[in-house]
């Protein structure tokens, strides 16, 4: 597995990470714990060293799963987790309908760190992201709290998720930001306009989540796809039958390139992301070994400048239908 560095931080990870959220949360009922432990360990055996979780996934159960699965490999891997939600006991297990409020007050961040350290069974959190920007707490205070945790040896690196460029700059002045995690893929290209140039300027890595468009870019969905009520895609505007049908043009494009490259649409979608910048590390999630292996195969897919130009020209003619999130969730991004 190739390695990449997240910006100028020196934090080196595998070129692809593994997003672990869907193993316990959001994509239907939680999966069998032992099977997921085996899958995470299979990822380590295949060279993946970067694993993503958060306290809100479950809540809490995903961190426990990741901690248990990676305990034997602690020195070989980088574990990223996130803080910033106010997790009350009545949180809807679907995670999206009953979304908790935000809380990035410094004392809350420190409590969250202590709890995550225990659940992850680690002495230090490798990468600690603010999950969503909390407008009630100045970002300087958030960065300052994480800076304290770094000085105490409880956290190694500071990250932000779905933050806007002014927030990134302000945070970075207090405590250098190692990585920004935001949705980025062929069907969500918002970061290209302002965020990616800012990250390049400041030397911050980009960790795209949902790099396969929450499963859509695998080419395995069409307008007849049905989502269980425990699957949060059932609430997303981009996953209505009309939007799925309209957005099929993107799958056709990926399919054409995949055929030429003897690859799959998912591999082309990931290879395209990897080709954008050398400091981009996508974190596709999966609960299936064959999908994990398919995703890893993307690292070996070579897209030439001509291939990338062809994809861009064709993609520019496609208007993606449907918002990423319902309005309440969309408002939490790009702040």
Closest CA to 64 of 77, 54, 74: 54
Strands 155-161 and 125-130: parallel
Residue 316: φ, ψ to 5°: -65, -20
Query: Which positions are catalytic?
Result: 57
Query: What does the alpha-carbon distance between residue 18 and residue 13 come to, in Å, rounded to a whole number?
Result: 11
Strand partners, 316: none
Closest CA to 255 of 268, 238, 244: 268
102 Cβ partners below 8 Å, 6+ apart?
Answer: 84, 85, 86, 132, 134, 135, 136, 332
95-122 per-residue burial string, b: 16 or more CB within 10 A, e: under 16: bbeebbebbbbbebbbebbeebbebbeb
Contact 280, 270 (CB under 8 A): no
């Amino acid at each position: 597995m190739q390695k990449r560095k997240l910006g100028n931080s020196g934090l080196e990870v595998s070129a692809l990470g593994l997003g672990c959220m869907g193993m316990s949360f959001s994509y239907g009922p939680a999966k069998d714990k032992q099977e997921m432990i085996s899958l995470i360990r299979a990822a380590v055996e295949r060279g993946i060293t970067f694993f993503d979780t958060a306290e809100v996934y479950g809540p809490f159960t995903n961190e426990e799963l990741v901690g248990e699965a990676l305990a034997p490999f602690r020195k070989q891997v980088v574990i990223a987790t996130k803080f910033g939600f106010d997790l009350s006991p009545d949180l809807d297990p679907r995670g999206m309908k009953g979304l908790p409020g935000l809380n990035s007050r410094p004392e809350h961040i420190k409590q969250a760190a202590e709890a995550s350290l225990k659940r992850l069974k680690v002495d230090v959190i490798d990468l600690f992201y603010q999950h969503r920007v909390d407008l009630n707490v100045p970002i300087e205070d958030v960065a300052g709290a994480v800076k304290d945790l770094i000085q105490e040896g409880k956290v190694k690196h500071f990250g932000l998720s779905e933050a806007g460029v002014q927030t990134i700059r302000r945070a970075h002045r207090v405590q250098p930001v190692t990585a920004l995690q935001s949705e980025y893929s062929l069907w969500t290209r918002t970061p290209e306009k302002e965020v990616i140039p800012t990250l390049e300027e400041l030397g911050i890595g980009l960790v795209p989540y949902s790099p396969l468009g929450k499963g859509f870019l695998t080419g395995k969905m069409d307008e007849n796809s049905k989502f269980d009520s425990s699957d949060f895609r059932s609430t997303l505007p981009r996953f209505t039958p009309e939007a799925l049908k309209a957005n099929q043009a993107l799958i056709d494009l990926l399919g054409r390139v995949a055929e030429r490259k003897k690859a799959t649409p998912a591999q082309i979608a990931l290879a395209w992301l990897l080709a954008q910048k050398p400091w981009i590390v996508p974190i596709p999630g999966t609960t299936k070994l064959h999908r994990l292996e398919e995703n890893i195969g993307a690292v070996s897919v070579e897209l030439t400048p001509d291939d990338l130009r062809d994809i861009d020209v064709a993609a520019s003619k496609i208007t993606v239908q449907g918002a990423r999130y319902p309005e309440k969730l969309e408002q939490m991004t790009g702040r």
